[in-house]
Amino acid sequence: MPDAELQVDQTLTDTGRITLSPIAAVIHVQCGGEAIARSEQALELRETGYPPVIYVPIADVQPGVLGHNPATSHCPFKGDARYYDVTVGEQALPNAAWHYPDPRPELAAIANCVAFYPDPIVIWRE
């Protein structure tokens, strides 16, 4: 489980808040009925106005699932995101995952983690 000091409760704007917390459970990620990740080190990021997002260490994702995608985006609160295509068997999902390789310092814990869009990817806690 991630160290307690990874807990972040930092006001990033006058109107919003981002909270980053370790998850005290095993996180499973599946696509097309196949396991693509399992992690005991996942983090949950909560941002005002958005549903919670689970970030899984990239090292906990099955090899070959994440493929390069040139898409990028910018979040003024988290930094620059890069995207991955997710490939499971014959199924390829463009832009289905993202990560922040160099996030803002107060969110450094997500630098080596990836998040997945929830459809058709399924994420659950054990």
The top-level CATH class assigned to 4-125 is mainly beta
Q: Each residue of 50-104: pLDDT tens digit?
A: 999 999 999 999 999 999 999 999 998 899 999 999 999 888 999 999 999 999 9
| Domain boundaries along the sequence of the chain | 4-125
Identify the pLDDT of residue 120.
Answer: 87
On average, the pLDDT of the chain sits at 88
Give the Cα separation of 16 and 71 in Å (integer).
Answer: 26
- The β-bridge relationship of strands 27-31 and 34-39 is antiparallel
Identify the pLDDT of residue 53.
Answer: 96
Give this prediction's pTM: 0.87
Q: What percent of the chain has pLDDT over 70?
A: 87
pLDDT reading at 14 higher than 60: no
pLDDT reading at 2 higher than 80: no
pLDDT reading at 9 higher than 60: no
